[in-house]
Amino acid sequence: MKNYSSSPRLNNHSTDRNSRKRFWSSALGLRFSLRDYGFCMATLLLFCLGSLFYQLNGGPPKVLLEIRQYLGESTFVDDHGPPTPRELPFPSQVIYNRVGKCGSRTVVLLLRILAEKHQFNLVSSDIHNKTRLTKHEQVDLMRNISTIPQPFLYTRHVHFLNFTRFRIEQPVYINIIRDPINRFLSNYFFRRFGDWRGEQNHLVRTPQMKDDERYLDINVCIMENYPECSNPRLFYIVPYFCGQHPQCREPGVWAVERAKQNVIENFLLVGILEELEDVLLLLERLLPHYFSDVLSIYKSPAFWKMGNLTGTVKKHVPTLEALQVLYQRMKYEYDFYNFIRDQFHLTKKKIGLKSASQNSNHEPDFLLKIPKLNLGV
């Protein structure tokens, strides 16, 4: 009997069958791979088209919404997403470009207490005598301000900075001003004799001032037209709101009108020192995340004991004749001050606070008592 299993012919047939199996298996695998590849490409094309529809129509296409509704609203991000980020108050960027001798030291003392209480970042600059900046200095300062962790309140003696001019997000501004003559008198005597915080602090601030200038009678300064008592140095408040343009430092209608426009467009509130409690109350209403409880802190005995040390010493009022001359020289300052006072009273009316001042003539308080005084601007 022949052994067919060992026949060469049978072995050749077996080898052929195995080869054909391997061939068809390989071809079938290739066919499946092409089909899977085509499916992936079709899926990718579908999502690309969906993304395009989403962007063109302002939302996802209807089919994707139906798919999500079919699959259910819950997603992995919904159930296992990252922790909710800290919600910032609005506004979260505030600048107080404080005007000199307008109660700014009192307000800064309050801000230090409030920053600790409400956990916002208070940055108070120690630069007092550089309010006008070059273009590069403006950009550097604005970029530095923009890097402060929010919410923040930045304060410095500096003229208005226009952030949007350099394509930087514009913070909200606040400020306080006072009667221009009262501000001038406070500054005049403060430079010479300081305040109640220390008997010799004026010598530190103005070490180069000679005795003949330090003890110069203010009436002589005004009537004899000393530089300190005449323009452009009397034109002090308006540039804080007009800005960094060179013409902002020239007494005139252009600077005043530009300052008014900036107040309307960029300042949340500009108060007047003569009604400081109302200013604080409005700040508490408008910026509660910064100024909540500020009025109760301001009225507390502990703060009054500390705040009274900021009063200027040896201050006295010039003669009536000197006041008349000074008032005429400061007509643009009073134009702006009267505008701010009207705006402040209008804001109080909108909030529901009754104005404490019923004066419609817009004259300095210490001049109102003098009869028949012609002070036309």
pLDDT band at 77 (very low <50, low <70, confident <90, very high): very low
Question: Active site residue: 80, 118, 157, 316, which one?
Answer: 157
Average pLDDT of the residues in 149-173: 97
Which range among 27-41, 124-138, 201-215 shows the weakest confidence by mean pLDDT?
Answer: 27-41
Q: Helix H segments across the chain? A: 8-57, 62-71, 76-80, 104-118, 135-146, 180-193, 201-205, 211-214, 218-223, 239-242, 253-266, 276-286, 288-291, 294-299, 301-307, 320-329, 331-351, 365-368
Write down the pTM of the prediction.
Answer: 0.72
Residue 12: pLDDT above 90?
A: no
pLDDT band at 208 (very low <50, low <70, confident <90, very high): confident
State the amino acid at position 63 in one-letter form: V
Average pLDDT of the residues in 268-281: 97
pLDDT band at 299 (very low <50, low <70, confident <90, very high): very high
Average pLDDT of the residues in 162-166: 95
Among this protein's residues, is 289 annotated catalytic? no
Residue 177: pLDDT above 60?
A: yes
Average pLDDT of the residues in 138-142: 97
pLDDT band at 213 (very low <50, low <70, confident <90, very high): confident
